[in-house]
Structure 1
Amino acid sequence: MSSTPANAYLERLQRNLFAATGEDPERLQEIGDKTMATVLGGATKVGFPDAEAIPKILQEEFARGLAMRPSRYEDPLTHMLMVRLADDLEKTAGTLGYELPPRPVFGTLPLGQLNASAIAVPDSSEHLIVFQKGLFGFMNLLAKAVAASLPWVDEPEGGGVSFSTDVDKIREHLKSDSEPAARLADFVASYVVEGDPHRSQQYFLGGPAMRLAEILRYGGELFVLAHEYGHIVSGHLESDHRTEQVADETLTIVSEPWVKEHQADYIGMILAVSTMHHEKDLDIAMAFGAVDLVFSAMALVDAALGVVAVNDPEATARSDTHPPAQLRQAMLREMLDRALDDEAQVAAARLFAETLDEIMQVLWDSIAPYLSELHARGVRPSPIWGIAPA
Structure 2
Amino acid sequence: MSSENQAALNYLEHIQRNTYIALGIQPLWMLDGHADFVEKFAAQFYESSDVKNSMTLEEFRKGTRDSLFGSLDSPISSYQDPAFYFLLSHMTSEIEGILDEQKVEIYPRPIFGSLPTGRVNGVALRVPDSDQLIVLLEDGLFGFANLTAKAVSRVFPLKGEGDGRLTFSVGESDWKKEFAARPDVVERFVELLLAYLIGGHPHAARPYLPEPKYEGITSLLRDSMELFVLSHEYGHCISGHLDMGQTKKAMLGGEETDEVLTSWNQEIEADVAGLGIMLAVMRKRGFDLSLSFWGVDFFFGCIEIVERAVSILRTGRAEVPISSTHPPTELRREMMHRVLKNSVPEEHAAGPLQLAGIVASILNEFWLACEPVLQKVYEDHTELAPAWRQ
TM-score, normalising length: structure 1: 0.90
Gaps of 5+ in 1: none
Change (3 A) 1:299 1:160: closer
Whether 1:370 and 2:370 are equivalent positions in the alignment is no
One-letter amino acid of the counterpart of residue 213, structure 2: P
Q: Of 67, 89, 112, which aligns to 2:95?
A: 89
Question: Displacement, 1:62?
Answer: 4.7
Change (3 A) 1:42 1:75: farther
Question: Displacement, 1:96?
Answer: 2.9
Cα deviation digits, residues 148-190 of structure 1 (max 9, x gap): 11123358x9898632221222112111111221111011110
Change (3 A) 1:116 1:26: closer
Q: Which residue is equivalent to 1:331?
A: 335
Q: Which residue is equivalent to 1:216?
A: 221
Whether 1:265 and 2:271 are equivalent positions in the alignment is yes
Change (3 A) 1:48 1:82: farther
Question: Displacement, 1:260?
Answer: 0.4
SS at 1:346 equivalent: helix
Contact kept in structure 1, 2:300 and 2:333, CA below 8 Å: yes
Question: Displacement, 1:300?
Answer: 0.6
Residue correspondence of structure 1 range 172-321 to structure 2 within 5 A: 172-247=177-252, 248-277=254-283, 279-314=284-319, 316-321=320-325
Q: Of 21, 24, 29, which aligns to 2:23?
A: 21
Question: Displacement, 1:138?
Answer: 0.7
Cα deviation digits, residues 16-71 of structure 1 (max 9, x gap): 11222221479848697467446534431542534644322222235534222521
How many residues were matched structurally?
383
Q: Which residue is equivalent to 2:154?
A: 148
One-letter amino acid of the counterpart of residue 303, structure 2: M
SS at 2:134 equivalent: strand
- In the alignment, the residues of structure 1 paired with residue 277 and residue 385 of structure 2 have an alpha-carbon distance, to the nearest angstrom, of 33
SS at 2:176 equivalent: helix
- In the alignment, the residues of structure 1 paired with residue 69 and residue 344 of structure 2 have an alpha-carbon distance, to the nearest angstrom, of 44
SS at 2:125 equivalent: strand
- In the alignment, the residues of structure 2 paired with residue 120 and residue 159 of structure 1 have an alpha-carbon distance, to the nearest angstrom, of 45
Q: Which residue is equivalent to 2:65?
A: 59
Which stretch shows the higher mean deviation, 171-180 or 18-27? 18-27
- In the alignment, the residues of structure 1 paired with residue 187 and residue 87 of structure 2 have an alpha-carbon distance, to the nearest angstrom, of 28
SS at 1:275 equivalent: helix
Contact kept in structure 1, 2:108 and 2:133, CA below 8 Å: no
SS at 2:242 equivalent: helix
- In the alignment, the residues of structure 2 paired with residue 289 and residue 27 of structure 1 have an alpha-carbon distance, to the nearest angstrom, of 30
Cα deviation digits, residues 300-356 of structure 1 (max 9, x gap): 100111122222111x44322211111111111111134x32322211111111111
TM-score, normalising length: structure 2: 0.90
Residue correspondence of structure 1 range 127-166 to structure 2 within 5 A: 127-154=133-160, 162-166=167-171
- In the alignment, the residues of structure 1 paired with residue 266 and residue 37 of structure 2 have an alpha-carbon distance, to the nearest angstrom, of 36
Change (3 A) 1:255 1:35: farther
Question: Displacement, 1:213?
Answer: 0.6
- In the alignment, the residues of structure 1 paired with residue 19 and residue 211 of structure 2 have an alpha-carbon distance, to the nearest angstrom, of 38
Which stretch shows the higher mean deviation, 291-300 or 1-10? 1-10
Gaps of 5+ in 2: none
Change (3 A) 1:39 1:231: farther
CA RMSD, aligned part only? 2.6
Contact kept in structure 1, 2:245 and 2:262, CA below 8 Å: no
Q: Which residue is equivalent to 2:130?
A: 124
Cα deviation digits, residues 349-382 of structure 1 (max 9, x gap): 1111111111011111112111212112221211
Provide the identity percentage: 28
Q: Which residue is equivalent to 1:7?
A: 9
Contact kept in structure 1, 2:109 and 2:237, CA below 8 Å: no
Contact kept in structure 2, 1:183 and 1:203, CA below 8 Å: no
Q: Which residue is equivalent to 2:45?
A: 43
Q: Which residue is equivalent to 2:82?
A: 76
Contact kept in structure 2, 1:241 and 1:252, CA below 8 Å: no
- In the alignment, the residues of structure 2 paired with residue 193 and residue 313 of structure 1 have an alpha-carbon distance, to the nearest angstrom, of 17
Change (3 A) 1:300 1:83: same
Change (3 A) 1:178 1:243: same
Question: Displacement, 1:104?
Answer: 2.4
Question: Displacement, 1:241?
Answer: 2.6
- In the alignment, the residues of structure 2 paired with residue 327 and residue 57 of structure 1 have an alpha-carbon distance, to the nearest angstrom, of 42
Change (3 A) 1:158 1:254: closer
